[in-house]
Amino acid sequence: HLDACMPRALSRIASTHQRALHSLRARAVAHASVASRRGAHSRVMTKAHAHSAVTSTDANWVPLRDMHADELRLKYTLPTGQSFRWRPRGSSESDYVGVIGARVVRVRETVNGDAEYKVYCRPASESDDDDDRVVRDYFNADVSLVDMHAGFAANDARFRALAPYVGGSRMLRQDASECLFSFICSSNNHISRIHGMVEKMCVHYGDVLPVTAADVAIDDVDEKIEPEEAAAVKGDEAFYTFPSVSQILAKATEERLRELGFGYRAKFIVGAAKVLAENPDGKSPEAYLASLRDEKTYAEAHEALMACPGIGPKVSACACLFSLDKHEAIPVDTHVWQFAVEHYMPELREAKSVTPKIMRAVEDKMFDIFGPYAGWAHNAMFIAELKSIKESLPEELRTPRRATPGSASKAAKKLKIKDEPKPPETLPPAEDFGSPARTRA
Protein backbone atom coordinates (compact mmCIF):
# COMPACT_ATOMS: atom_id res chain seq x y z
CA HIS A 1 0.00 0.00 0.00
CA LEU A 2 2.84 2.36 0.88
CA ASP A 3 4.57 1.51 -2.41
CA ALA A 4 1.36 2.35 -4.27
CA CYS A 5 0.83 5.64 -2.41
CA MET A 6 4.42 6.83 -2.61
CA PRO A 7 4.37 8.00 -6.28
CA ARG A 8 1.17 9.98 -5.68
CA ALA A 9 2.59 11.55 -2.52
CA LEU A 10 5.82 12.46 -4.27
CA SER A 11 3.84 13.87 -7.17
CA ARG A 12 1.78 16.06 -4.82
CA ILE A 13 4.92 17.30 -3.06
CA ALA A 14 6.56 18.10 -6.40
CA SER A 15 3.42 19.85 -7.62
CA THR A 16 3.19 21.94 -4.45
CA HIS A 17 6.87 22.83 -4.72
CA GLN A 18 6.46 23.77 -8.38
CA ARG A 19 3.48 26.03 -7.60
CA ALA A 20 5.34 27.74 -4.77
CA LEU A 21 8.40 28.24 -6.96
CA HIS A 22 6.21 29.56 -9.77
CA SER A 23 4.57 32.05 -7.42
CA LEU A 24 7.92 33.21 -6.06
CA ARG A 25 9.27 33.67 -9.60
CA ALA A 26 6.18 35.63 -10.56
CA ARG A 27 6.45 37.90 -7.55
CA ALA A 28 10.14 38.44 -8.25
CA VAL A 29 9.38 39.43 -11.84
CA ALA A 30 6.57 41.74 -10.71
CA HIS A 31 8.82 43.36 -8.09
CA ALA A 32 11.50 43.80 -10.73
CA SER A 33 8.89 45.41 -12.95
CA VAL A 34 8.05 47.83 -10.16
CA ALA A 35 11.72 48.68 -9.63
CA SER A 36 12.36 49.18 -13.32
CA ARG A 37 9.49 51.63 -13.50
CA ARG A 38 10.48 53.70 -10.47
CA GLY A 39 12.42 56.05 -12.70
CA ALA A 40 9.38 56.72 -14.83
CA HIS A 41 7.22 57.07 -11.74
CA SER A 42 9.63 59.58 -10.23
CA ARG A 43 9.26 61.64 -13.41
CA VAL A 44 5.51 61.54 -12.93
CA MET A 45 5.99 62.70 -9.35
CA THR A 46 7.81 65.82 -10.50
CA LYS A 47 4.56 67.23 -11.86
CA ALA A 48 3.56 70.48 -10.22
CA HIS A 49 0.64 68.88 -8.41
CA ALA A 50 2.60 66.02 -6.78
CA HIS A 51 1.13 65.19 -3.38
CA SER A 52 4.17 65.44 -1.10
CA ALA A 53 2.08 64.92 2.07
CA VAL A 54 1.19 61.33 1.10
CA THR A 55 3.46 58.34 1.67
CA SER A 56 3.36 54.74 0.48
CA THR A 57 2.70 52.04 3.07
CA ASP A 58 3.93 48.55 3.86
CA ALA A 59 0.53 47.28 2.80
CA ASN A 60 -1.11 44.28 4.44
CA TRP A 61 -4.58 42.87 3.99
CA VAL A 62 -6.92 43.92 6.79
CA PRO A 63 -10.39 42.49 7.50
CA LEU A 64 -13.20 44.99 6.96
CA ARG A 65 -14.84 44.18 10.28
CA ASP A 66 -18.39 42.79 10.19
CA MET A 67 -18.57 43.11 6.40
CA HIS A 68 -19.72 39.63 5.42
CA ALA A 69 -21.39 38.77 2.12
CA ASP A 70 -24.86 39.70 3.36
CA GLU A 71 -23.52 43.10 4.49
CA LEU A 72 -21.31 43.91 1.47
CA ARG A 73 -21.18 42.48 -2.03
CA LEU A 74 -18.70 44.45 -4.09
CA LYS A 75 -20.36 43.74 -7.45
CA TYR A 76 -23.62 45.23 -6.12
CA THR A 77 -21.88 48.25 -4.59
CA LEU A 78 -18.86 49.55 -6.55
CA PRO A 79 -19.72 49.22 -10.28
CA THR A 80 -23.45 50.03 -10.11
CA GLY A 81 -23.39 53.78 -10.67
CA GLN A 82 -22.65 55.31 -7.27
CA SER A 83 -18.96 55.97 -7.86
CA PHE A 84 -16.73 56.07 -10.94
CA ARG A 85 -13.32 55.58 -9.30
CA TRP A 86 -13.26 51.79 -8.90
CA ARG A 87 -11.82 49.28 -11.37
CA PRO A 88 -12.13 45.48 -11.20
CA ARG A 89 -8.96 43.43 -11.16
CA GLY A 90 -9.03 41.06 -14.10
CA SER A 91 -12.35 39.34 -14.67
CA SER A 92 -13.19 39.17 -10.98
CA GLU A 93 -16.39 40.69 -9.62
CA SER A 94 -15.05 40.46 -6.09
CA ASP A 95 -11.77 42.42 -6.29
CA TYR A 96 -11.55 46.18 -6.99
CA VAL A 97 -8.99 48.98 -6.77
CA GLY A 98 -9.90 52.62 -6.28
CA VAL A 99 -9.02 55.87 -4.54
CA ILE A 100 -10.60 57.09 -1.32
CA GLY A 101 -9.40 60.62 -0.61
CA ALA A 102 -5.59 60.38 -0.71
CA ARG A 103 -5.53 56.61 -0.28
CA VAL A 104 -5.15 53.99 -3.00
CA VAL A 105 -7.27 51.13 -1.71
CA ARG A 106 -7.91 47.60 -2.86
CA VAL A 107 -10.98 45.75 -1.60
CA ARG A 108 -11.78 42.11 -2.21
CA GLU A 109 -13.98 39.31 -0.95
CA THR A 110 -12.32 36.24 0.52
CA VAL A 111 -13.40 32.69 -0.32
CA ASN A 112 -15.84 32.72 2.59
CA GLY A 113 -17.37 36.02 1.48
CA ASP A 114 -15.77 38.33 4.07
CA ALA A 115 -14.43 41.65 2.81
CA GLU A 116 -10.84 42.75 3.35
CA TYR A 117 -8.86 45.76 2.19
CA LYS A 118 -5.32 46.90 1.54
CA VAL A 119 -4.10 50.52 1.62
CA TYR A 120 -1.12 51.31 -0.62
CA CYS A 121 -0.63 54.94 0.46
CA ARG A 122 -2.06 57.36 3.00
CA PRO A 123 -1.54 60.95 4.23
CA ALA A 124 1.86 61.15 5.95
CA SER A 125 0.32 62.36 9.20
CA GLU A 126 -2.02 59.35 9.52
CA SER A 127 -1.69 55.70 10.52
CA ASP A 128 -3.30 52.36 9.82
CA ASP A 129 -5.86 53.14 12.53
CA ASP A 130 -6.95 56.04 10.36
CA ASP A 131 -7.13 53.67 7.39
CA ASP A 132 -9.70 51.60 9.26
CA ARG A 133 -11.75 54.68 10.13
CA VAL A 134 -11.66 56.07 6.59
CA VAL A 135 -12.49 52.80 4.81
CA ARG A 136 -15.30 51.95 7.22
CA ASP A 137 -16.73 55.44 6.86
CA TYR A 138 -16.63 55.18 3.05
CA PHE A 139 -18.60 51.92 3.13
CA ASN A 140 -21.06 53.10 5.81
CA ALA A 141 -19.86 50.04 7.70
CA ASP A 142 -21.56 50.94 10.97
CA VAL A 143 -24.98 50.62 9.34
CA SER A 144 -26.41 47.09 9.58
CA LEU A 145 -27.65 46.26 6.10
CA VAL A 146 -29.07 42.94 7.28
CA ASP A 147 -31.27 44.61 9.88
CA MET A 148 -32.28 47.33 7.44
CA HIS A 149 -33.25 44.88 4.70
CA ALA A 150 -35.23 42.85 7.23
CA GLY A 151 -37.21 45.97 8.08
CA PHE A 152 -37.80 46.76 4.40
CA ALA A 153 -38.93 43.17 3.77
CA ALA A 154 -41.40 43.34 6.63
CA ASN A 155 -42.98 46.44 5.09
CA ASP A 156 -43.07 45.44 1.43
CA ALA A 157 -43.79 42.19 -0.40
CA ARG A 158 -41.79 43.17 -3.48
CA PHE A 159 -38.67 43.90 -1.45
CA ARG A 160 -39.19 40.67 0.53
CA ALA A 161 -39.12 38.68 -2.71
CA LEU A 162 -36.05 40.52 -4.11
CA ALA A 163 -33.98 40.56 -0.90
CA PRO A 164 -32.26 37.17 -1.42
CA TYR A 165 -30.96 38.34 -4.81
CA VAL A 166 -29.60 41.78 -3.86
CA GLY A 167 -28.04 41.16 -0.46
CA GLY A 168 -24.95 43.23 0.24
CA SER A 169 -26.01 46.15 -2.00
CA ARG A 170 -24.57 48.82 0.26
CA MET A 171 -24.65 52.62 -0.08
CA LEU A 172 -21.32 54.47 -0.18
CA ARG A 173 -20.50 57.67 1.73
CA GLN A 174 -18.35 59.53 -0.76
CA ASP A 175 -16.51 62.83 -0.68
CA ALA A 176 -19.16 65.42 -1.53
CA SER A 177 -17.30 67.38 -4.20
CA GLU A 178 -16.05 64.23 -5.94
CA CYS A 179 -19.58 62.84 -6.05
CA LEU A 180 -21.12 66.10 -7.22
CA PHE A 181 -18.70 66.76 -10.09
CA SER A 182 -18.72 63.10 -11.13
CA PHE A 183 -22.48 63.27 -11.61
CA ILE A 184 -22.19 66.50 -13.56
CA CYS A 185 -20.04 64.43 -15.93
CA SER A 186 -22.70 61.69 -16.02
CA SER A 187 -25.34 63.85 -17.72
CA ASN A 188 -26.50 62.16 -20.95
CA ASN A 189 -23.40 60.00 -20.93
CA HIS A 190 -22.40 56.33 -20.98
CA ILE A 191 -20.47 54.55 -18.29
CA SER A 192 -17.06 54.18 -19.96
CA ARG A 193 -17.03 57.84 -20.97
CA ILE A 194 -17.97 58.94 -17.45
CA HIS A 195 -15.06 56.90 -16.10
CA GLY A 196 -12.80 58.59 -18.64
CA MET A 197 -13.97 62.11 -17.77
CA VAL A 198 -13.60 61.54 -14.04
CA GLU A 199 -10.11 60.15 -14.59
CA LYS A 200 -9.17 63.18 -16.71
CA MET A 201 -10.27 65.52 -13.94
CA CYS A 202 -8.05 63.62 -11.52
CA VAL A 203 -5.00 63.53 -13.81
CA HIS A 204 -5.17 67.17 -14.87
CA TYR A 205 -6.35 68.84 -11.67
CA GLY A 206 -5.82 66.41 -8.78
CA ASP A 207 -2.69 65.28 -6.93
CA VAL A 208 -0.56 62.37 -8.09
CA LEU A 209 -0.16 59.64 -5.45
CA PRO A 210 3.01 57.58 -4.77
CA VAL A 211 1.53 54.35 -6.17
CA THR A 212 1.60 52.92 -9.69
CA ALA A 213 -0.35 50.19 -11.42
CA ALA A 214 2.72 47.97 -11.04
CA ASP A 215 2.55 48.29 -7.25
CA VAL A 216 -1.04 47.09 -7.27
CA ALA A 217 -0.33 44.36 -9.84
CA ILE A 218 1.91 42.51 -7.37
CA ASP A 219 -1.26 41.32 -5.66
CA ASP A 220 -2.64 39.99 -8.97
CA VAL A 221 -0.01 37.24 -9.10
CA ASP A 222 -1.21 33.67 -8.64
CA GLU A 223 -0.18 30.24 -9.83
CA LYS A 224 -2.43 30.41 -12.91
CA ILE A 225 -0.66 33.45 -14.38
CA GLU A 226 2.68 33.27 -16.12
CA PRO A 227 5.28 35.58 -14.51
CA GLU A 228 5.84 37.51 -17.72
CA GLU A 229 2.09 38.03 -18.11
CA ALA A 230 1.74 39.19 -14.51
CA ALA A 231 4.48 41.75 -15.04
CA ALA A 232 3.05 42.99 -18.33
CA VAL A 233 1.08 45.81 -16.75
CA LYS A 234 1.08 49.49 -17.53
CA GLY A 235 3.34 50.09 -14.59
CA ASP A 236 3.84 53.78 -15.32
CA GLU A 237 0.16 54.50 -14.72
CA ALA A 238 -0.23 56.50 -11.54
CA PHE A 239 -3.18 57.07 -9.22
CA TYR A 240 -4.55 60.53 -8.44
CA THR A 241 -6.79 62.22 -5.94
CA PHE A 242 -9.99 63.80 -7.15
CA PRO A 243 -9.45 67.58 -7.30
CA SER A 244 -10.96 69.75 -4.61
CA VAL A 245 -13.29 72.57 -5.59
CA SER A 246 -10.43 74.97 -4.89
CA GLN A 247 -8.16 73.07 -7.31
CA ILE A 248 -10.84 73.14 -10.01
CA LEU A 249 -11.23 76.88 -9.53
CA ALA A 250 -7.49 77.48 -9.69
CA LYS A 251 -6.68 75.25 -12.67
CA ALA A 252 -9.70 74.37 -14.79
CA THR A 253 -11.07 76.51 -17.60
CA GLU A 254 -14.05 75.87 -19.83
CA GLU A 255 -11.84 76.04 -22.91
CA ARG A 256 -9.39 73.44 -21.61
CA LEU A 257 -12.14 71.11 -20.41
CA ARG A 258 -13.70 71.26 -23.87
CA GLU A 259 -10.34 70.36 -25.37
CA LEU A 260 -10.26 67.37 -23.03
CA GLY A 261 -13.63 66.16 -24.33
CA PHE A 262 -16.09 67.32 -21.67
CA GLY A 263 -18.31 69.11 -24.20
CA TYR A 264 -21.12 71.26 -22.81
CA ARG A 265 -20.40 69.89 -19.32
CA ALA A 266 -17.24 72.05 -19.25
CA LYS A 267 -19.19 75.21 -18.47
CA PHE A 268 -21.17 73.38 -15.78
CA ILE A 269 -18.00 72.16 -14.03
CA VAL A 270 -16.44 75.62 -13.97
CA GLY A 271 -19.76 77.27 -13.12
CA ALA A 272 -20.58 74.87 -10.28
CA ALA A 273 -17.14 75.41 -8.72
CA LYS A 274 -17.72 79.19 -8.78
CA VAL A 275 -21.16 78.90 -7.21
CA LEU A 276 -19.82 76.68 -4.43
CA ALA A 277 -16.97 79.15 -3.79
CA GLU A 278 -19.44 82.05 -3.62
CA ASN A 279 -21.88 80.21 -1.35
CA PRO A 280 -24.33 82.25 0.75
CA ASP A 281 -22.67 81.20 4.02
CA GLY A 282 -19.28 82.66 3.05
CA LYS A 283 -17.51 79.37 3.80
CA SER A 284 -14.85 77.58 1.84
CA PRO A 285 -16.40 75.26 -0.79
CA GLU A 286 -15.39 72.20 1.19
CA ALA A 287 -16.79 73.58 4.45
CA TYR A 288 -20.00 74.58 2.68
CA LEU A 289 -20.53 71.07 1.32
CA ALA A 290 -19.78 69.65 4.78
CA SER A 291 -22.45 71.92 6.24
CA LEU A 292 -24.98 70.58 3.72
CA ARG A 293 -24.20 67.11 5.02
CA ASP A 294 -24.17 67.90 8.73
CA GLU A 295 -26.50 70.86 9.21
CA LYS A 296 -29.15 70.86 6.48
CA THR A 297 -32.23 68.78 5.80
CA TYR A 298 -32.55 66.85 2.58
CA ALA A 299 -34.86 69.48 1.11
CA GLU A 300 -32.43 72.27 2.00
CA ALA A 301 -29.36 70.46 0.66
CA HIS A 302 -31.20 69.39 -2.50
CA GLU A 303 -32.25 72.96 -3.25
CA ALA A 304 -28.80 74.37 -2.44
CA LEU A 305 -27.06 72.06 -4.91
CA MET A 306 -29.51 72.97 -7.66
CA ALA A 307 -28.22 76.54 -7.46
CA CYS A 308 -25.19 75.20 -9.36
CA PRO A 309 -25.37 75.19 -13.18
CA GLY A 310 -25.82 71.72 -14.67
CA ILE A 311 -27.36 70.29 -11.51
CA GLY A 312 -31.04 69.38 -11.79
CA PRO A 313 -33.24 67.40 -9.40
CA LYS A 314 -31.82 63.98 -10.27
CA VAL A 315 -28.13 64.91 -10.09
CA SER A 316 -28.79 66.75 -6.84
CA ALA A 317 -30.57 63.70 -5.40
CA CYS A 318 -27.62 61.49 -6.42
CA ALA A 319 -25.16 63.75 -4.58
CA CYS A 320 -27.44 63.94 -1.55
CA LEU A 321 -27.87 60.15 -1.34
CA PHE A 322 -24.32 59.07 -2.19
CA SER A 323 -22.38 61.69 -0.25
CA LEU A 324 -24.47 63.95 2.01
CA ASP A 325 -26.16 61.40 4.33
CA LYS A 326 -29.61 62.18 2.93
CA HIS A 327 -30.74 58.57 3.07
CA GLU A 328 -34.30 59.32 1.98
CA ALA A 329 -33.24 60.74 -1.40
CA ILE A 330 -34.48 58.87 -4.49
CA PRO A 331 -32.78 59.74 -7.82
CA VAL A 332 -35.57 58.91 -10.26
CA ASP A 333 -34.45 57.77 -13.71
CA THR A 334 -36.25 55.57 -16.22
CA HIS A 335 -35.37 52.34 -14.37
CA VAL A 336 -36.81 53.73 -11.14
CA TRP A 337 -39.85 55.19 -12.92
CA GLN A 338 -40.55 51.78 -14.51
CA PHE A 339 -40.44 49.76 -11.29
CA ALA A 340 -42.36 52.48 -9.44
CA VAL A 341 -45.14 52.38 -12.06
CA GLU A 342 -45.20 48.59 -12.26
CA HIS A 343 -45.16 47.81 -8.55
CA TYR A 344 -46.20 50.91 -6.62
CA MET A 345 -47.68 53.79 -8.63
CA PRO A 346 -49.61 52.65 -11.73
CA GLU A 347 -51.21 56.09 -11.87
CA LEU A 348 -47.90 57.45 -13.24
CA ARG A 349 -48.01 55.23 -16.33
CA GLU A 350 -49.17 58.03 -18.61
CA ALA A 351 -46.34 60.38 -17.59
CA LYS A 352 -44.62 61.99 -20.54
CA SER A 353 -41.33 62.60 -18.72
CA VAL A 354 -39.72 62.28 -15.32
CA THR A 355 -40.51 65.76 -14.08
CA PRO A 356 -39.56 67.18 -10.67
CA LYS A 357 -43.20 66.72 -9.61
CA ILE A 358 -43.13 63.01 -10.50
CA MET A 359 -39.78 62.60 -8.78
CA ARG A 360 -41.22 64.06 -5.57
CA ALA A 361 -44.25 61.77 -5.84
CA VAL A 362 -42.00 58.71 -6.14
CA GLU A 363 -39.86 59.89 -3.21
CA ASP A 364 -42.96 60.40 -1.05
CA LYS A 365 -44.29 56.94 -1.90
CA MET A 366 -40.95 55.25 -1.17
CA PHE A 367 -40.66 57.16 2.11
CA ASP A 368 -44.15 56.05 3.16
CA ILE A 369 -43.17 52.41 2.59
CA PHE A 370 -39.53 52.28 3.64
CA GLY A 371 -39.04 55.24 5.97
CA PRO A 372 -36.03 57.55 6.39
CA TYR A 373 -33.62 55.09 4.69
CA ALA A 374 -35.82 54.76 1.60
CA GLY A 375 -32.83 55.60 -0.61
CA TRP A 376 -31.15 52.35 0.46
CA ALA A 377 -34.25 50.35 -0.47
CA HIS A 378 -34.42 52.17 -3.80
CA ASN A 379 -30.75 51.30 -4.42
CA ALA A 380 -31.34 47.56 -3.95
CA MET A 381 -34.40 47.63 -6.22
CA PHE A 382 -32.52 49.73 -8.79
CA ILE A 383 -29.76 47.11 -8.92
CA ALA A 384 -32.40 44.41 -9.53
CA GLU A 385 -33.40 46.33 -12.67
CA LEU A 386 -29.90 46.22 -14.22
CA LYS A 387 -29.76 43.80 -17.10
CA SER A 388 -27.00 41.59 -15.69
CA ILE A 389 -28.86 41.20 -12.38
CA LYS A 390 -32.36 41.11 -13.83
CA GLU A 391 -31.51 38.13 -16.01
CA SER A 392 -30.58 36.12 -12.91
CA LEU A 393 -33.97 36.72 -11.25
CA PRO A 394 -36.89 34.32 -11.46
CA GLU A 395 -39.20 35.33 -14.28
CA GLU A 396 -41.97 36.41 -11.94
CA LEU A 397 -39.69 38.96 -10.25
CA ARG A 398 -38.52 40.68 -13.44
CA THR A 399 -40.13 44.04 -14.07
CA PRO A 400 -41.70 43.83 -17.55
CA ARG A 401 -40.16 45.98 -20.23
CA ARG A 402 -42.93 48.44 -20.89
CA ALA A 403 -43.27 51.96 -22.21
CA THR A 404 -40.84 54.61 -21.02
CA PRO A 405 -41.81 58.17 -20.09
CA GLY A 406 -42.78 60.08 -23.18
CA SER A 407 -43.10 57.02 -25.43
CA ALA A 408 -46.83 57.51 -25.93
CA SER A 409 -46.20 61.09 -27.01
CA LYS A 410 -43.44 59.94 -29.39
CA ALA A 411 -45.77 57.34 -30.91
CA ALA A 412 -48.42 60.00 -31.40
CA LYS A 413 -45.87 62.16 -33.20
CA LYS A 414 -44.99 59.32 -35.55
CA LEU A 415 -48.66 58.92 -36.42
CA LYS A 416 -48.94 62.70 -36.77
CA ILE A 417 -51.44 62.89 -33.93
CA LYS A 418 -51.58 66.24 -32.23
CA ASP A 419 -50.27 66.02 -28.69
CA GLU A 420 -49.64 68.35 -25.78
CA PRO A 421 -46.18 69.98 -25.61
CA LYS A 422 -43.60 68.05 -23.60
CA PRO A 423 -42.39 69.44 -20.30
CA PRO A 424 -38.86 70.83 -20.67
CA GLU A 425 -37.08 68.08 -18.69
CA THR A 426 -37.10 64.62 -20.26
CA LEU A 427 -35.05 61.55 -19.47
CA PRO A 428 -33.86 59.01 -22.05
CA PRO A 429 -34.12 55.30 -21.28
CA ALA A 430 -31.47 53.86 -18.96
CA GLU A 431 -29.70 50.62 -19.80
CA ASP A 432 -27.44 48.22 -17.93
CA PHE A 433 -24.18 49.66 -16.62
CA GLY A 434 -22.26 46.81 -18.20
CA SER A 435 -22.66 48.35 -21.66
CA PRO A 436 -22.59 51.89 -23.05
CA ALA A 437 -25.49 53.19 -21.04
CA ARG A 438 -27.23 55.99 -19.28
CA THR A 439 -26.56 56.35 -15.58
CA ARG A 440 -29.16 56.83 -12.93
CA ALA A 441 -28.53 60.60 -13.16
Question: What Rg, from alpha-carbon coordinates, does the chain have?
Answer: 24
Question: Which alpha helices (DSSP H) does 60-190 contain, by range?
Answer: 128-138, 145-155, 157-162, 176-185
Residue type, 42: S
E strand or H helix at 159, and its extent? helix 157-162
Burial (0-12, 13-18, 19+ Cβ within 10 Å), 333:
buried
Catalytic residue from among 118, 224, 274, 314: 314
Whole-angstrom Cα distance, residue 385 to residue 17?
Answer: 47
| Cβ atoms of residues 431 and 438 within 8 Å | yes
The reply to whether 314 belongs to the active site is yes
- CA 42, distance to chain mean position in Å, is 29
3-state secondary structure of 240: strand
For residue 153, count other CB atoms closer than 10 A to its CB: 17
Alpha-carbon distance of 280 to 291, in angstroms, equals 12
C-alpha 252/C-alpha 354 separation (Å) is: 32
Half-sphere exposure of 144 (CA within 13 A, CB side): 6
Q: How far is CA 241 from the centre of its chain?
A: 15
Residues 32 and 155: their CA atoms lie apart, in Å, by: 57
Q: Which residues are part of the catalytic machinery?
A: 314
